[in-house]
């Protein structure tokens, strides 16, 4: 039986309970398919992300700790089921699942070109290592390697890491990163021909995203609300504090999109959204009067959907947020101690922002056309 060879294989962080991670790969796949490419999302799930690893930490000699781990396991199991459902329904996922770079080398996915990105695929802290698979080490030498909007997630990289990274990236046909800081990191490492592109979620227009919301089962309660979206526990307190101020000024409810956070402050909200699908997540953002977040993709979807939004920087990995706000000239959306929230709640003029999105999308399409090929095109 002849195995189909796809035009493109996408390697990214996708099988985790994070709306941004799932939606960025969905957006990249969708745009490439719109352009006529056949796509496979390589189902690479490194050992550290496997749910089974959490269960292995249990110890009967530590019953309290074991009970806490079991409770966490159940929460993550529910999230895993939700993630798996979205992937099955919406991603062109590879038939084989891989758990290591060696797995990928032994049974390489079938594609002519491999793309790594977006999100923090090159963040060794986030990934607990320099993950060779995200640097496409497994790809045979007769296949093309490129990146699209890949991120280091930080301002700089240790010199010891740079030497390792250079070895892998020297085999790339073309390199695209998401942040200006990543361009500098690679320029300093003597990679001069580096492109910068927006996160893949911007490849899909506001109207297109809103069309997908017909798949959402979320029912809007018709009450105006400010919604909080955060993925880090440490940032919940300042977000809640400012959400209360916004709610008081504009007489709106406080809603919270919950993933795996633990905080008693969440219970103060008028509504808590649990176990949302990725499309339901967008729906909640879309229906909000205001959005307050410390999340990159919280900001990204607020921008795409033209929402009035507010940002509180997290303590770690805020580079991504700073960069996207600079690109769209929206740095005034960051809340500080002397911020005038009454003024900030006024609608944002999105004319220039939408023009930037349109320009960046055209640039992305040109990047794909110049650096990808597909069999159907060659046949013409």
User: What pLDDT is recorded for position 59?
Assistant: 52
Which CATH number among 3.40.50.720, 3.40.50.2000, 3.40.50.300, 3.30.70.270 corresponds to the domain 206-348?
Answer: 3.40.50.2000
User: What pLDDT is recorded for position 315?
Assistant: 80
Domains 6-204+358-379 and 206-348 share a fold: yes
d(C-alpha 177, C-alpha 138), whole Å:
20
User: Helix (H, G, I), strand (E, B), or coil: what is residue 201?
Assistant: helix
pTM for this predicted structure: 0.90
Does domain 6-204+358-379 correspond to CATH entry 3.40.50? Answer: yes
What are the sequence ranges of the domains in the chain?
Answer: 6-204+358-379, 206-348
User: What pLDDT is recorded for position 376?
Assistant: 42
Question: What averages of pLDDT result for each successive group of 10 residues across the chain (380 residues)?
Answer: 77 92 97 96 86 53 54 57 92 96 95 93 91 97 96 90 95 97 96 97 97 70 89 88 96 91 83 92 96 96 98 87 96 93 95 98 97 56
Q: Could you give the strand order of the β-sheet that contains 253-257, starting from the edge strand earlier in sequence?
A: 271-273, 253-257, 225-229, 290-293, 308-311
User: What pLDDT is recorded for position 50?
Assistant: 60
d(C-alpha 244, C-alpha 250), whole Å:
10
User: What pLDDT is recorded for position 263?
Assistant: 76
Q: What CA–CA distances, in Å, run from 92 to 23, 27, 32, 38?
A: 13, 12, 12, 9
Tell me how far apart the 2 most distant CA atoms of the chain are, in Å: 67
Q: Could you give the strand order of the β-sheet that contains 111-116, starting from the edge strand earlier in sequence?
A: 93-98, 39-44, 6-11, 111-116, 144-147
């Amino acid at each position: 039986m002849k195995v189909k060879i796809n035009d493109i294989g996408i390697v990214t962080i996708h099988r985790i309970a994070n709306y941004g991670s799932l939606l960025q790969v969905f957006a990249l796949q969708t745009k490439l398919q719109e352009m006529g490419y056949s796509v496979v999302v390589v189902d690479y799930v490194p050992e550290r992300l496997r749910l089974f690893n959490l269960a292995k930490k249990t110890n009967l000699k530590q019953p309290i700790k074991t009970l806490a781990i079991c409770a966490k396991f159940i929460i993550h199991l529910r999230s895993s089921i939700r993630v798996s459902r979205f992937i099955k329904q919406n991603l062109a996922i590879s038939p084989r699942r891989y758990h290591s770079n060696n797995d990928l080398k032994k049974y390489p996915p079938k594609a002519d070109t491999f793309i790594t990105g977006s999100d923090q695929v090159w963040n060794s802290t986030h990934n607990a290592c320099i993950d060779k698979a995200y640097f496409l080490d497994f790809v045979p030498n007769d296949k093309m390697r490129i990146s699209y909007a890949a991120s280091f997630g930080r301002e700089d990289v240790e010199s010891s890491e740079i030497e390792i990274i250079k070895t892998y990236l020297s085999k790339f046909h073309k390199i695209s990163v998401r942040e200006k800081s990543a361009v500098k990191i690679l320029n300093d490492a003597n990679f001069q021909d580096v492109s910068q592109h927006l996160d893949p979620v911007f490849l899909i227009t506001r109207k297109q995203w809103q069309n997908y919301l017909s798949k959402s089962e979320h029912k809007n309660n018709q009450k105006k609300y400010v919604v909080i979206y955060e993925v880090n526990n440490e940032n919940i307190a300042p977000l809640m504090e400012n959400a209360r101020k916004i709610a008081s000024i504009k007489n709106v409810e406080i809603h919270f999109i919950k993933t795996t956070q633990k905080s008693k402050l969440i219970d103060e909200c008028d509504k808590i959204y649990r176990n949302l699908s990725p499309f339901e997540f967008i729906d909640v953002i879309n229906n909000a009067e205001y959005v307050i977040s410390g999340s990159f993709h919280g900001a990204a979807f607020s921008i795409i959907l033209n929402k009035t939004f507010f940002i509180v920087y997290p303590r770690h990995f805020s580079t991504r947020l700073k960069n996207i706000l600079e690109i769209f000239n929206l740095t005034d959306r960051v809340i500080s101690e002397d911020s005038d929230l009454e003024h900030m709640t006024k609608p944002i003029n999105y004319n220039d922002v939408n023009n930037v999105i349109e320009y960046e999308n055209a640039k992305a399409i040109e990047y794909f056309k110049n650096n990808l090929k597909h069999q159907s095109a060659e046949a013409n």
